[in-house]
Amino acid sequence: MARVVVDVMLKTEILDPQGQAVQRALPRLGFAGIADVRQGKRFELEVDGPVDDAALARIHEMAETFLANTVIEDFVVKVES
């Protein structure tokens, strides 16, 4: 079984209030030196069978239509070994 990971992040021009809240809290908690924080989503998919071009195309379509809101989010699909 292979694992495919889909990482979804807000586009850089979209405000990330959760990331900003974390970034503001870090110095108060003793974690200095962090200039910015962006929050995202990670989906780990266990795939039956080989992860060939057809499987990756199907996963890309799934990410584009269901896992990410492509108006405000970008995503990356990668195969983990």
Task: Please tell me the distance from the alpha carbon of residue 2 to that of residue 59, in angstroms, as a whole number.
Answer: 13
Contacts of residues 68-72 at CB distance under 8 Å and 24 or more positions apart, as own/partner, are 68/6, 68/8, 72/10, 72/11, 72/14
Per-residue pLDDT of 42-74, as tens digits, reads 999 999 989 999 999 999 999 999 999 999 999
Amino acid at 5: V
Strands 73-80 and 2-10: antiparallel
Give me the DSSP letters along 42-54: EEEEEESS---HH
pLDDT value of residue 7: 98
pLDDT value of residue 62: 98
* pLDDT tops 90 at residue 28: yes
pLDDT value of residue 11: 98
